[in-house]
Amino acid sequence: MTLFEHLAELRYRLVICVLAILAASIVAFIFNGPLVSLLTRPYILAGELVKETRPEIKMELILDGVTSPFTVSLAIAGLAGLVVSSPVWLYQVWAFIVPGLLAKEKKWSLIVVGAAVPLFLVGVSMGYFIMPRAVAILVGFTPEDQQLTNLQGLPAFLGFMVRLMVIFGLAFEVPLFIVMLNVVGVLPAKMISKYRAYIIFGMFVFAAIATPTPDAFTMLLLALPMTVLVILSEAIAYALDRRKGKLNKSEDSVDHSVDDDAALRALEAEESGTTSDEKK
């Protein structure tokens, strides 16, 4: 394909992606009420948790400004449309890059895409479910014996929640990144085992920095699943290295057999030449 043909195909793929996201966003905007209830539920649950220990604390979500309801609805619809239409635009990205890949690269890139999406969604879901606990801990720092009301703007809360869920989603991609480094030969399984303790320690440090709450509960909810996934990725790396070793041995045996056959043919030709000279 020429450069202009590549650009034309890129434009075609982008148009499909935009139309898919736009259509999903319109549907999400129609069902905006249930989506808002779903996204604000962690804050409501956090209020119930706070009341168990600090009943004097009052928590309220507010919309500040005349245009806030409309802008928040648009933001929620856009986010939902992006998530719902992800199979379409991921396939378009895949369809655009796959013609330039080798057969082995196509296989591994398909495996990466197939594994990355579920891992990311699992991490996002975990971030959503720990949100009430995280908010309750943060609100619990409200000074005691004070008649204070925690007024939380809905846009700011949604931004905070999205950031936390994205952090959890990206954290669950780290083991997949380790496996891909092993596939391309950069990170052997023995090296992973050698530095396993440092990798796990780094996971806990990352979890402590990335989580917005000062408690150990939220940090462990992020660090422990990441540790399990790292150990699993190490086991996968060992299996892949063993498979590579078997393939290399089989290739070496084939090469030796070819060399032996060539040497045998050369010896036979030499003997036949010697015999013909003796006859003369």
- DSSP string across the chain: --HHHHHHHHHHHHHHHHHHHHHHHHHHHHTHHHHHHHHHHHHHHHHHHHHHH-TT-EEEEE--SSSHHHHHHHHHHHHHHHHHTHHHHHHHHHHHHGGGS-HHHHHHHHHHHHHHHHHHHHHHHHHHHHHHHHHHHHHTTSPTT---EEEEEHHHHHHHHHHHHHHHHHHTTHHHHHHHHHHTTSS-HHHHHHTHHHHHHHHHHHHHHHSSSSSHHHHHHHHHHHHHHHHHHHHHHHHHHHHHHHHHHHHHHHHHHHHHHHHHHHHHHHHHHHHHHHH-
Residues 155 and 226 in one domain: no
| pLDDT tens for each residue of 159-180 | 888 888 888 888 888 888 888 7
Helix axes 86-97, 68-84, angle to 10 degrees: 50
Mark which of 114, 144, 172 sits at the end of a domain. 172
Band of residue 122 on the pLDDT scale cut at 50, 70, 90? confident
| pLDDT tens for each residue of 51-105 | 888 888 888 888 887 888 888 888 888 888 888 887 888 778 777 777 766 676 6
Band of residue 265 on the pLDDT scale cut at 50, 70, 90? low
Q: Are 17 and 92 in contact (CB under 8 A)?
A: yes
What per-residue confidence (pLDDT) applies to 225?
85
Average pLDDT, the chain: 79
| pLDDT tens for each residue of 176-215 | 888 877 777 778 888 888 888 888 888 888 888 877 667 6
pLDDT-above-70 percentage for the chain? 82
Residues 128 and 164 in one domain: yes
Residues 95 and 184 in one domain: no
- pLDDT for residue 279 is more than 70: no
Residues 115 and 208 in one domain: no
What per-residue confidence (pLDDT) applies to 181?
79
Torsion on CA atoms 193, 199, 203, 208, rounded to nearest 10: 140
Total number of domains in the chain: 2
- pLDDT for residue 110 is more than 90: no
Residues 62 and 157 in one domain: yes
Give the integer Cα–Cα distance in Å for 62 and 156.
Answer: 10
For residues 77 and 111, which has the higher predicted lDDT (pLDDT)? 77
| pLDDT tens for each residue of 15-30 | 999 999 999 999 999 9
Residues 233 and 115 in one domain: no
- How is residue 261 written in tokens? 């056959």
Give the integer Cα–Cα distance in Å for 239 and 229.
Answer: 15
Residues 131 and 194 in one domain: no
Location of structure tokens 């379409």: 88
Residues 51 and 108 in one domain: yes
What per-residue confidence (pLDDT) applies to 259?
52
What per-residue confidence (pLDDT) applies to 27?
92
Residues 162 and 49 in one domain: yes
Residues 143 and 9 in one domain: yes
What per-residue confidence (pLDDT) applies to 15?
93
What per-residue confidence (pLDDT) applies to 23?
94
Residues 138 and 219 in one domain: no
Mark which of 172, 187, 202 sits at the end of a domain. 172
Residues 99 and 134 in one domain: yes
For residues 259 and 207, which has the higher predicted lDDT (pLDDT)? 207
- pLDDT for residue 257 is more than 50: no
- How is residue 25 written in tokens? 């966003």
What per-residue confidence (pLDDT) applies to 125?
87
What average pLDDT score do residues 98-119 get? 72
Mark which of 133, 152, 172 sits at the end of a domain. 172
Range of the domain at 247: 174-280
Q: Are 80 and 87 in contact (CB under 8 A)?
A: no
- pLDDT for residue 251 is more than 60: no
- pLDDT for residue 217 is more than 60: yes
